[in-house]
Amino acid sequence: MDRLEDLEKKILKHKKNKLNIKGFRRAAVLVPILKTPTGLEILFTVRSKQLSSHAGQIAFPGGRLDEHETYTEAALRETSEEIGLNLTRAKTIGYLSEHPSPGKYIVRPVVAVIDWPQKLNINSDEVSEVFTAPIEDLLKIETYTEERIFMEYRRYLHFFQFQDRLIWGLTGNVLKELLEIIQNKDVNYHALFE
């Protein structure tokens, strides 16, 4: 089985939920799937400790949409600005469900396949470091979930302990959805947000 072709088909077929919450702005993150000589990996960033929100947390690169910008354009632009990833040959393969952020954003994850390794140019004002995780390793992690109240909504946060790193929050929820798609599981979006 060609994992990438299979994944692209699964993402295209996957029913994505869209959110509309009054007063929330639009943002996009890039979920970079790396084609490495040893298999597929996912790239994560660690947010700078100087940032006013979510400092030091693990995240996918991304940010808010500029005027007249598409989700894909925003995700690619923000990724280039944050970590200098060369995206000229990146292949976007689709979107995942929209997720709410405590910063009052509705975030759409854009999944892209990128050749790896490559040299990065990290913007230290926004990102303190970058790391990658093999998809095969992420699939083996037993997650745990916490229920939180966010405004008047019930929100479920998924936590992944990868080596000495804790992936959780919006990033954990996006990762959970992607891994369930890879595993052919029925993604229960309401387990993320209701």
Q: 115, 114, 100: which is closest to 173 by C-alpha?
A: 100
**Distance, CA of 32 to CA of 91 (rounded, Å):** 10
**pLDDT tens, residue by residue, 142-192:** 999 998 887 777 888 999 999 999 999 999 999 999 999 998 876 655 444
Report d(CA 23, CA 30) in Å as an integer.
23
Distance CA(145)–CA(159), nearest Å, equals 6
**pLDDT tens-digit readout, 84-124:** 999 999 999 999 999 988 888 999 999 999 999 999 999 99
Residue closest to 62 by CA, chosen among 7, 132, 131, 109: 109
Cis peptide before 117 (omega within 30 of 0): yes
* Class of the CATH-defined domain 3-136: alpha beta
Take residue 124 and report the two structure tokens written for it.
Answer: 């230290």
User: Average pLDDT of the chain?
Assistant: 89
- Residue 53: pLDDT band (50, 70, 90) is low
Q: What is the mean pLDDT of residues 55-70?
A: 91
